[in-house]
Amino acid sequence: MQTPMMQAMIFEGVGKPLVLKQVPLPEFGVEQVLIKIIACGICRTDLHVLDGELNKPKLPLIPGHEIIGRVMSAGKKVTGIKENDLVGVPWLGYTCGKCKYCRQDKENLCENAKFTGYTLDGGYAQYTVAFSKYCFKLSEHYHNAGSAPLLCAGLIGFRSYRMIDPKAKNIGMYGFGAAAHILIQIAIAQNKKVFAFTREGDTQSQAFARELGAQWVGDSSAIPPEKLDASIIFAAAGELIPKALQDLDKGGTVICGGIHMSEIPAFSYDLLWQERMVRSVANLTREDGLNFFDLLKSTKVHTQTESFKLSQANEAIAKLRTGEVKGAAVLVMDHI
Ligand SMILES: [Zn+2]
Ligand SMILES: [Zn+2]
């Protein structure tokens, strides 16, 4: 019998463009499901993998961790998900359940975690396999490419947002892309005032933030008209940490939502003094996902996406790098 094949964009090493290849359909284990992919979002983390800022990826690798797809087959030990279910596959692909962090309900910090599109093959392909316990079963409502960015941009934005004191009113968002454009809608629904900071002169993103209800928009170097109670930095620029602290009120928190950041310049202790805090957000837990999709039942979020074919992944990545994508870039799969 002929081996069933699929198309995938393959990463072979730092500095090389992704290559479109015909590869065998992946085999699934007893705890895994085989998924026919509808769409896969392109996350900034994918760029950090391709650029070698996140080292030791699986090689060759199929990147992508914002997957929406339909279950084709399920392994013998899979429970809770069955053939034909619509599922989302996020960044967290596997945890050991045994290490210190797993036992403390901090599976996002698991010492033996595996990550989709990094240490496990991901979604820049027509099909993928995933451990069923880490997939989110989704209602049919999410059967579209626009749902893909919810799986990371939405989820990581939400986890970052949950680190903020619920009483915080003025919230800064540094870097207005895929994550911020989803999170601003949630924050505004909860009566927060959002201050959106973009790259210098990025009037397109500033107009977009204003359209979505930002109280104030400006370049990342601009001083907002009011002190902020909390800020989330989505951009990978370390120099934004002292800047965000400068804009922060006493007792406020700066959350770093990205997995990688350039070096943070030295700054005066005065910026941190008065119980200001800086913290990073690492990965996600399955509980974050359940809470996030639960929240979306009552808070309607619209995702702005630009769609590309699988074979256009390199082009989409180039556009994301230069900030030309409004909202989120998504690869939409062709199936015969
Ligand atoms: Zn663990
Ligand atoms: Zn991501």
In a shared domain, residues 136 and 217: no
Give the distance (Å) from ligand 2 centre to CA of residue 117: 9
Cis before 60? omega within 30: yes
Residue 295: inside a domain? no
> Which ligand is nearest the CA of 101, by number?
1
In a shared domain, residues 311 and 268: no
Give the distance (Å) from ligand 2 centre to CA of residue 156: 7
Residue for token pair 């109670």? 229
In a shared domain, residues 168 and 144: no
**pLDDT at 103 (0 to 100):** 98
Q: What angle do CA 325, 135, 128 make, to 5 degrees?
A: 70
CATH number at residue 243: 3.40.50.720
> Which ligand is nearest the CA of 46, by number?
2
In a shared domain, residues 128 and 228: no
Residues with CB under 5 A from ligand 1 (ion): 95-96, 99, 102, 110
Residue 292: inside a domain? no
Residues with CB under 5 A from ligand 2 (ion): 43, 45, 152
Residue 254: inside a domain? yes
Q: What is the pLDDT of residues 125-164, one digit of tens each?
A: 999 999 999 999 999 999 999 999 999 999 999 999 999 9
As a whole-number percent, the residues of the chain with pLDDT over 70 amount to: 99
Task: Share the mean pLDDT of the chain.
Answer: 96
Query: In the chain, helix, strand, coil percent, each to 5?
Result: 30, 30, 45
Q: Is residue 336 over pLDDT 80?
A: no
Residue 287: inside a domain? no
**pLDDT at 326 (0 to 100):** 83
Give the distance (Å) from ligand 2 centre to CA of residue 153: 6
Residue 286: inside a domain? no
In a shared domain, residues 117 and 24: yes
Q: What is the pLDDT of residues 35-49, one digit of tens each?
A: 999 999 999 999 999
In a shared domain, residues 54 and 133: yes
**pLDDT at 277 (0 to 100):** 98
Residue 83: inside a domain? yes
d(CA 77, CA 203): 51
**pLDDT at 323 (0 to 100):** 84
**pLDDT at 43 (0 to 100):** 95
Q: How far is CA 150 from the centre of its chain?
A: 7
**pLDDT at 208 (0 to 100):** 94
Number of domains in the chain: 2
C-alpha to C-alpha distances, 27 to 78, 105, 237, nearest whole angstrom? 15, 30, 39
Give the distance (Å) from ligand 1 centre to CA of residue 95: 5
In a shared domain, residues 116 and 183: no
Q: Is the separation of the CB atoms in 253 and 277 below 8 Å?
A: yes
Q: Is residue 117 over pLDDT 80?
A: yes
In a shared domain, residues 63 and 144: yes
Host domain of residue 160: 155-280
Give the distance (Å) from ligand 2 centre to CA of residue 259: 8
Give the distance (Å) from ligand 2 centre to CA of residue 243: 24
